[in-house]
Chain A
Amino acid sequence: MQPILQIRDARRTYATPEGGTVNALDGVNLDVGANEFVTLLGPSGCGKTTLLRAIAGFEELDGGAIHLEGADMRGIPAFRRPVNTVFQSYALFSHMSVARNVAYSLEVAGVGKSERMQRAGEMLDLVGLSGMGARKPSQLSGGQRQRVALARSLIARPRILLLDEPLSALDRQLRQQMQVELKNLQDEVGVSFVFVTHDQEEALTMSDRIVVMKAGQIEQIGSPREIYRRPATRFVADFIGETNMVAVALTGDGKATTDGGLVLAVPSDSGTGRATAILRPSDLSLTAADCAPNGAIPGTIRQEIYLGSELHFLIDVGGSIWRVTARDDGRDYHTGMRVALTYDPANVHLMPEAV
């Protein structure tokens, strides 16, 4: 099936005030399919917002092309594109009622007033704001404004909904609740979502696919599991969750040797040569040093961080620090204690060392 959105070799360069230039988009290729929830993830300045704004039509590309349902978007102004945006600031019109905000695109398109108000009412029902249509945006809470912005940009049934860090202004609890609601809403309305965020937790929770960006380029595209389990680059591994990364030499028999002389068990099909081994803190388990099984990694507890249901440890393994997450099982660990780390070799991910 043809993707709804195709981006080919998108390029955009800005002049900096100092007289230099910055590549906000440096040859980006991306396809988005129907009903897909795609997240653009990366640190600020990585180009994710520029890409979103280029799709919406607020920015023009210097090179490359954006096709929406097969149609080239070059020169098409924002108001003629079948995409809608939820802004970071929500950008609600403070001089209009909530219902008029929601019905704005219908009003502009010349839809009659009674139909407008009826459909606005339906959209408000959908986002859980029934009966709030007569209020002004200033009378709503942050979460409610967020829903109005969503309803407003979904009422015209866009082909793609673009969301520019829409949850960043909400507090943590509300943000987690909205993550679930957004995902459910997307299933319900059947519109493709392109979601921009710098929050990896948000990206992992909601996305069908995550696009990790850095310095105007795509580092990796994949499902949340792939991104987390099989990061393609050091940057991705670092950016998504906590990681233990160690340079190793593969010996080809399911073993790898670190520069410190430590031998790790790795998947048996991993070949030979230099590589970077990646182990997530949650894939490591702690045991007391004296009852360690064969092949366990010996270390010393440097620091213990208590987080309620979880314990975080910083373990000194031959001079380098490894992170370990463990459930609080009531066992007594203390700083300076000698321990051993065990793991499932299948969970060790190897990347070519160059990246």
Chain B
Amino acid sequence: MRKIRPWPLTLTLYSLLFFCFIYLPLVVVIVFSFNSNVLDMASWESFTFDWYLGLFGLREVAPSQGTSAIYVESTDQLLNALKNSLIVATFTTIISTTIGTATAIAMARHRFRLRGTYQGVMMLPMMMPDIVLGIGLLIFFITLGFKLSLLTIIIGHCTFLSSYVFIVVQARMAGLDPALEEASADLGANEWVTFRKVLLPQLMPGVVGGAMLAFIISMDDLVITYFIAGTDSTTLPMFIFSMIRRGVKPEINAIATLLILASLIIAGAGLYLRSRRVE
């Protein structure tokens, strides 16, 4: 076999730089979350855990060095926002995974006249700009007299996350041997038993993947939530957004670091599970 000429060294260097570029912002946030400089959190002073302790109300951040600000306004607010986000993401995940999976199964195993239409329609919510969907839902809820709350956020998230789940499950479904379901029927299982004992377990990697994607996006969504959240239903991204809008404060670094670590753990676990399934 002929040997392929290796890439020039510059390409390797460039590519490695590219990956540094991708991770630079995350690293900056993590490093500066340990910066004790109260006045200018972008200039390094010395190492401290204070922002983390302050975040959980364990240490009143001293209004030292001439400032009188107490930066963490309320740990309760933060935890409440986190709780809201978790509630929304959990229900959104359950509903959108059910809808998306059912649709993917229908599309893969049945031939019907509107199949092409459905395929196209499932792409629309993903491609629709968030802001359009957000204000659409806002007018819709207000006009119909819905009270904006966690429920409206869940409804809003499910409209586009069902499509994400659909795409992921459909990809898994495409790789599945249709003979598996025929074999199950052949061996005496009716449609429901086949679904429970064969189709669902075989689809599981796709369903879990789609559900994880839905959960993460729902936890992170800001634009749609921003328009349809009620006054008492602030989510975590909204909380951080409002903190940033009111000026950069050092605790944000600590919150951000914790969130980055949480995402890394979830995504890493997902990848680990997937690699195990491959074996």
Residues of chain A at the chain B interface (Cβ within 8 Å): 56-58, 77-80, 83-85, 87-89, 91, 93-95, 104-105, 107-109, 152-153, 156
Contacts of A77 in B (CB 8 A): 185, 190
Q: Is B201 an interface residue (CB 8 A)?
A: yes
Would you mind naming 6 contact pairs between A and B with Cβ atoms under 8 Å apart? A56-B186, A57-B185, A58-B182, A78-B186, A87-B179, A93-B180
Is there an interface contact between A87 and B188, defined as CB atoms closer than 8 Å? no
How many angstroms between the C-alpha atoms of A107 and B193 in the bound complex? 10
Residue of B nearest to A94 (CB): B202
Q: Are B187 and A89 in contact (CB under 8 A)?
A: no
CB distance from A350 to the nearest CB of B (A): 44
In the bound complex, how far is the Cα of B203 from the Cα of A95, in angstroms? 10
CB of B202 to closest CB in A, whole Å: 6
Contact indicator B179/A95 (Cβ below 8 Å): no
The answer to whether B179 touches A153, judged by C-beta atoms less than 8 angstroms apart, is no
Chain A's closest residue to B178 (CB) is: A91
In the complex, what residue of chain A is closest to B190 when comparing beta carbons?
A79
Q: Tell me whether B183 is interfacial, beta carbon within 8 Å.
A: yes
* A104-B182 in contact given A93-B198, A93-B202, A95-B202 (Cβ < 8 Å): no
The interface centre, meaning the residue of B188, B193, B201 with most chain A CB atoms within 10 A of its CB, is B188
Choose from B179, B190, B193, B197 the contact partner of A91 (Cβ within 8 Å). B179
> How many whole Å from A93's CB to the nearest CB in chain B?
6
Closest A residue to B202 by CB, please name it: A95
B189 within 8 A of A: yes
- Interface SS of chain A: mixed
Smallest CB–CB gap between A208 and chain B, Å? 24
How far is B80's CA from A288's CA once the two chains are assembled, in angstroms?
Answer: 102
Q: Tell me which of B183, B185, B193, B202 has the highest count of chain A C-beta atoms within 10 A of its own C-beta.
A: B183
Is there contact, CB below 8 Å, between B202 and A78? Answer: no
Q: Which B residues contact A (CB, under 8 angstroms)?
A: 177, 179-180, 182-190, 193-194, 197-198, 201-202, 204
CB pair B202–A152 under 8 Å, yes or no, is: no
Complex: A79 Cα to B177 Cα, angstroms? 18
Given contacts A93-B198, A95-B201, A95-B202, contact A108 B189 (CB under 8 A): yes
Whole-angstrom distance between the Cβ of A91 and the nearest chain B Cβ? 4
List the B side residues contacting A58 at CB < 8 Å: 182, 185-186
- Rounded to whole angstroms, the CA-CA distance of A88 and B186 in the bound complex is 14
Given contacts A57-B186, A88-B179, A108-B197, 20 further A-B contacts (CB under 8 A): A78-B182, A79-B190, A83-B186, A84-B187, A85-B186, A89-B177, A91-B180, A93-B183, A93-B198, A93-B202, A95-B202, A104-B184, A104-B187, A104-B189, A104-B197, A107-B197, A108-B184, A108-B193, A152-B187, A156-B187
Give Cα distance in the complex from A187 to B260, angstroms: 66
Tell me the complex Cα distance, A108–B195, Å. 12
How far is B179's CA from A85's CA once the two chains are assembled, in angstroms?
10
Min CB distance A167 to B, Å, is: 16
CB neighbours (8 Å) of A85 from chain B are 182-183, 186
Bound-state CA distance A91–B179 (Å) is 6
Give CA–CA (A290, B190) in the complex, Å.
74
A58–B193 alpha-carbon span in the complex (Å): 17
Q: Distance (Å) between the CB of A123 and the closest chain B CB?
A: 13
Instruction: Provide the residues of chain A in CB contact with B197, threshold 8 Å.
Output: 104, 107-108
